[in-house]
Amino acid sequence: MSNQEVAQLVAESLHFWDGQRINLIAYTIMSNHVHAVFTLTGEEIEAGKVNSLKRLMHSIKSYTAHKANVLLNLNGEFWEEETYDRLVRDTDELRRIVRYVLMNPVKAGLCEDWKTWKWNYVKPIYDEF
C-alpha cells in the first residue's frame, strides 16, 4: 500500500462501512499492512446473514484486492488470508490499542508525529487517545 491510490482505496473502504456495519474508531495504513480499530454494529440481519467479523473482513479484503490489482495491473492474492483480531475488554485496553495503531508509522521511522501521517485516522470523538 505504498501506492497512494491503493492506500486511498483501503481508507475509503473502511470509511464506507462506518455507520453501516462498524463503528470505525481508528486506523493506520502502512506500506505492507493495515491496523484498524472498530466495533461491529450489532447483529443486524442482512439478506439472512448476521453481521460478523469474518463477513466484514471478507468484504473489505475482496473489494480492495480486486480494485488494487486493477490499479497495479496485477492479479492473484493481494492480502494474506490471516487477520489478527483482538477482543478489547475495557477502555484502558482500547486506549492502549488505539495508541499502538496511531504510533505505528512513528515507530517505523516514517514520521515524527502520528498526526502528520497521511494514512492515520482517529474518529474525533476518540481524539483523547
Q: Domains of the chain: which residue ranges?
A: 4-126
Q: Does pLDDT of 1 surpass 60?
A: no
DSSP line for 3-38? SHHHHHHHHHHHHHHBTTTEEEEEEEE-SS-EEEEE
Rounded to two decimals, the pTM is 0.87
Q: Does pLDDT of 61 surpass 70?
A: yes
| DSSP for residue 90 | S
Question: What does the mean pLDDT of the chain come to?
Answer: 89
Average pLDDT over residues 98-104: 96
CATH of domain 4-126: 3.30.70.1290
List of E strands, the chain? 22-29, 34-40, 45-46, 49-50, 120-122
